Amino acid sequence: MGIRSSLRKKLIKRKIKIPYFLMNKQEKYFHRVFAKISSHDVIIDLGAHLGKFTAEFAKRARTVYAFEPHPDIFASLQKNTCRFSNVVAYQKAISDEDGEATLYSDPSQTSRPTEGSTLSNQKRDVSYENGFSVETVQLSKFIQDLHLQVKLIKIDIEGMEYNVINDLLNSGAIDLVDLVYVEDHCQYVDGLELQREQTLEEIRKRKLEHKFDFNWP
């Protein structure tokens, strides 16, 4: 084990904050994202899951709006973020329209049966034998109704990301957003690559590349 690895291991064991030069690639990525957030900022966390990033955002921002539709995961999200008075959590799914949709998960994954729950009907790692209705919220309308500039949106919504991004573009709500970080699910969802390419082309046409990062791990 090298000196850097040994030092890193000791700091982690002692729960001491790791300095930048000892961070791995993913940690450095998140460090750069978090550094963009200040105490007056509004953040939207889509696919908040257990609240890991919701909590990190809440430490730095004024308000964090967190969306997680699965009831079991949402309960954990609330528990894990209850100490933050600036977190507003919704047990709702984000979509390109208000209404209802079927949320699918795979109970065969016994260790984490709710991991990767999706509204998409083309996701390869979901059996589609287990689904239930959830309320959906149109992101563009939600943002416009806030009447606030949104500093950052994190999108991890299991194959529905490009539907939501296109709605942001077409509605004009993207003008109220500074930065959008996206976890891409092309490797899991049939047909998503074409939708991705069409969306990226639209972003380029509008000269909005500076607002989007599609490398969220």
Backbone conformation region of residue 213, classed left if phi is above 0, alpha if psi is from -120 to 50, else beta: beta
Does the pLDDT of residue 61 top 90, yes or no?
Answer: yes
pLDDT at 114: 53
pLDDT-derived band at 39, boundaries 50, 70, 90: very high
Q: Where are the beta strands (DSSP E) in the chain?
A: 42-46, 63-67, 87-90, 93-95, 99-104, 131-138, 150-155, 177-182, 212-213
Question: Could you say which architecture CATH assigns to the domain 27-96+138-213?
Answer: 3-Layer(aba) Sandwich (3.40)
158-187 pLDDT, tens digit per residue, is: 889 999 999 999 999 999 999 999 999 999
Does the pLDDT of residue 64 top 90, yes or no?
Answer: yes
pLDDT at 126: 75
pLDDT at 110: 46
Does the pLDDT of residue 134 top 50, yes or no?
Answer: yes
pLDDT at 1: 60
pLDDT at 107: 58
In the beta sheet, which residues pair with residue 189? 123
